[in-house]
Structure 1
Amino acid sequence: MEKNRSRSIWAGIGVFVVAKLKWALALLKWTKFGGTFITMMISLGAYAALYGWKFGVAIVYLIFVHEMGHLIAAKRKGVKTSPAYFIPFVGAMVNMKEPLKDAATESYVAYAGPLAGLISFLPAVVLYEYTGEPFWALVVFLGSLLNLFNLIPVTPLDGGRIVSVLSTKIWLIGLLILAAYAVYTMSPLIFLILIIGAFGWWNRGKESYRNGLLSYEKIKLETLREQISQWPSLTSTWDLKQAMQAQLTSAKERMGKENARFIPFWDDDKKLVREQAKLDEHYANQTLTLLQQWEHQPVMYEDGDPDRPIPSPLLTGVTQQCSERLKQIEEALSYNRAYYEAPAKLKWKVLIAYVLLAAVLSAFMIYGHNIMDARL
């Protein structure tokens, strides 16, 4: 009866807001933190309708402070973000509007959330010790549990982003922990996080393969650009055509069967050889086609002087395209290789901070649980 009455009260409040304060909601949508406030109120109403207003206020407060930790840390690092958006029964999220420059920055921004989350429920510890009210023990337990869960070392949780500066191999441990927890709780949300985490671990594991392919494409582009620069001085293109035909034959032999299957990670080296052969075939065909087009173009001379040939627009255009693609590849390789690099001293600091925060949160979770268990 009491639960139905509480739901009726919150439903009435919702009707009042929609009917009387439409103008305020419209105004909030256009402010910087309007989305945060609106989604916060929606989440508060959802939690309050099911668990009561005190629980709703507590859980929204804990999530809000956690997300503010991320926002403040991002601002300190000069990273642009979206405001925090609440999702009922899921939590909240903050989107980065630009790529983070390295794993150290990612770790810093991620760590600030659980750290702020720890600070958020410390007043509840004082209030419980002063009043003896079990509700404050519940707040301590919820706050420590939420933030400790977020420290599981797997993406997209904060823990996975924190330990990325140490080693992304730790993500596999986090996946195993999360898988066990998912089976224990049978929670759809936990299974969703597990799937996202598995994709993150998979993509990171395939990065070495992708870098190998990009490096090989870089070699092919540099070779093509160098060849093009020498074409105007060739007296004959016969040898070049023969070399390209030999490359085509070799590439087709190395590609093997078109429908061949490779075991992920285990056969990555074999797959890389096949993809490199495909690149050889592609650039050999491209070179032959370009050579035929160039040979059929008339040679233009500046002021009709045979000693001053005008560079071919066709070759100039292809050279420019090669340079642009090379720039993209070099940027990608530089980012991929440097992103997870960090000094050993920083790694030790992150490891100590991570373990210490997890230990403190665990202690407070046990503290809150013991109080509630004793009161039951």
Structure 2
Amino acid sequence: MNNSRGRSLWVGIGIFLLAKFKWALALLKWTKFGGTFISMMISLGAYAAIYGWKFGVAIIYLIFVHEMGHLVAAKRKGIPTSPAFFIPFVGALVSLKERPRDAATEAYLAYGGPLAGLISFLPAVALYWMTEDPFWAVVIFTGALLNLFNMIPVSPLDGGRIVSVLSTKIWLAGLILLGIIVAISPSPILFLIIIIGLFTWWNRAKEDSRNAVLSYEKQKLVEYRTEIRRWPALTSTWNLKQTLLADVGATKKEESGKRKRLLPFLHEEERIARDKETMDRHYANLTLNLLQEWEHQPVEYEDADPSKPIPSRLLVAAEQAADERIGQLEEELQHNRAYYVASSSLKWKVLAAYLALAAVLSLFMLYGNHLMKLHE
């Protein structure tokens, strides 16, 4: 019985945690409410066939309330979401239709899940006191364990999203903790979480390098836009064309002399320099190709007046495309630089809320475990 219960609990954890991988399930949307109800019934039937109706209903209930916590938090922040959609042996999906504006908002949305998860199993405490039925002890323990496990500070778990407003460096500590758990109790699902967590941490660790390259691309676009604006006033493009050809040739020669493999972090500056050289080559080719195409276009005049040339549609379109890309880069850079910025007072509040919720869930997990032992 103990082994069966243990397997059920760990399978429950797997079901719950897989629900966190919303990015991989974003295509699974349905009608506003019909999809939620139908998918819930299908999932309930699947769980009941394996674990029995009582435990199946409990799993559905715990997952549903947890996900509704995210939905309510998103609604309070004015972020639109999709309706909940249940997927048998995977969990439930409530996807965001727009990304949070900053880490503080993301932490708020993430906190709503485990907070609602805590509330979800409190009725089981009262029911146990009234009936002393060991099933309610299992619900208490399972609900606390699922939500406490989800508080581990590793992205994509809610804990990782909550502590991101404090410091994303905490993710590394969470990965180490999860690695210890996997070493003690190997699990493919936990290993998958570690892999995803490593990728998330890696992307965050390289964000400064990525911002440097994005800033350089913005600089090249501004230069490109300035360059094409002066072309209509040129009397000859020969010197310009020769300069661009030389630039293209120089970047190819520099590339051939570089080492082929770069180690992360150890060669980060060299990697940034290589990315910038790639950008130089790209915009040199882009400028040269645009110049050659523009040269072969006839000049149009307003009312056939040679003193009133009509701006080239080709150059106007190129300038508009550059403006659009510059706007996108500015938005992305602003988002990246400001996303994790938060005041000290807010960080202290988030830390206190995180530790308090983790402590309460821990106490209920121990309490539920104690009650189950009484019925062994």
| TM-score normalised per structure 1 | 0.84
Amino acid at match of 2:255: M
Amino acid at match of 1:67: E
Tell me, in whole angstroms, the C-alpha distance in 2 between the residues paired with 1:260 and 1:63. Answer: 48
Query: CA 1:52–1:316 in 2, change beyond 3 Å: closer, same or farther?
Result: closer
Describe how 1:47-126 pairs up with structure 2 within 5 A.
47-126=47-126
Cα offsets for 1:165-187 (capped at 9, x unmatched): 22222222222222222333332
Amino acid at match of 1:363: L
For the 8 Å contact 2:66–2:117, the answer to whether it is kept is yes
Tell me, in whole angstroms, the C-alpha distance in 2 between the residues paired with 1:332 and 1:219. Answer: 14
Q: CA deviation at 1:250?
A: 4.1
> What stretches of structure 1 move > 6 A for 4+ residues in a row?
none
Q: CA deviation at 1:218?
A: 0.9
Amino acid at match of 2:343: P
Matched, 1:185 2:196: no
Query: CA 1:353–1:92 in 2, change beyond 3 Å: closer, same or farther?
Result: same
Query: CA 1:88–1:176 in 2, change beyond 3 Å: closer, same or farther?
Result: farther
Amino acid at match of 2:98: E
What corresponds to 1:294 in structure 2? 294
Q: CA deviation at 1:235?
A: 4.0
Matched, 1:134 2:134: yes
Q: CA deviation at 1:91?
A: 3.0
Matched, 1:224 2:224: yes
Tell me, in whole angstroms, the C-alpha distance in 2 between the residues paired with 1:38 and 1:301. Answer: 65
Tell me, in whole angstroms, the C-alpha distance in 2 between the residues paired with 1:47 and 1:295. Answer: 69
What corresponds to 2:375 in structure 1? 375
Q: CA deviation at 1:296?
A: 4.2
Matched, 1:35 2:32: no
Tell me, in whole angstroms, the C-alpha distance in 1 between the residues paired with 2:370 and 2:264. Answer: 46
Q: Between the two proteins, what is the percent identity of the paired residues?
A: 64
For the 8 Å contact 2:30–2:85, the answer to whether it is kept is no
Bigger CA radius of gyration: 1
Q: CA deviation at 1:258?
A: 6.5
SS in 2 for 1:86: strand
Q: Give the stretch that moved more between structures: 216-225 or 244-253.
A: 244-253
Q: CA deviation at 1:360?
A: 0.7
For the 8 Å contact 1:118–1:143, the answer to whether it is kept is yes
Q: CA deviation at 1:191?
A: 2.2
Q: Give the stretch that moved more between structures: 176-185 or 218-227.
A: 176-185
What corresponds to 2:356 in structure 1? 356
For the 8 Å contact 2:165–2:340, the answer to whether it is kept is yes
Describe how 1:127-276 pairs up with structure 2 within 5 A.
127-257=127-257, 260-276=260-276
What corresponds to 2:365 in structure 1? 365
SS in 1 for 2:83: coil
Query: CA 1:124–1:300 in 2, change beyond 3 Å: closer, same or farther?
Result: closer
Size of the aligned set, in residue pairs, is 348
Q: CA deviation at 1:305?
A: 4.0
Query: CA 1:290–1:42 in 2, change beyond 3 Å: closer, same or farther?
Result: closer
Tell me, in whole angstroms, the C-alpha distance in 2 between the residues paired with 1:293 and 1:57. Answer: 67
Q: Give the stretch that moved more between structures: 253-262 or 60-69.
A: 253-262
Give the unaligned 5+ runs of structure 2. 1-28
**How big is the alpha-carbon RMSD for the aligned residues of Structure 1 and Structure 2?**
2.4
Cα offsets for 1:315-342 (capped at 9, x unmatched): 2222122112212222222222222222
Q: Give the stretch that moved more between structures: 100-109 or 123-132.
A: 123-132
Query: CA 1:313–1:58 in 2, change beyond 3 Å: closer, same or farther?
Result: closer
SS in 1 for 2:121: helix
For the 8 Å contact 2:152–2:160, the answer to whether it is kept is yes
SS in 1 for 2:92: strand
For the 8 Å contact 1:150–1:159, the answer to whether it is kept is yes
Amino acid at match of 1:52: G
Amino acid at match of 1:112: G
Tell me, in whole angstroms, the C-alpha distance in 1 between the residues paired with 2:110 and 2:224. Answer: 44
Tell me, in whole angstroms, the C-alpha distance in 2 between the residues paired with 1:83 and 1:190. Answer: 27
For the 8 Å contact 1:302–1:310, the answer to whether it is kept is yes
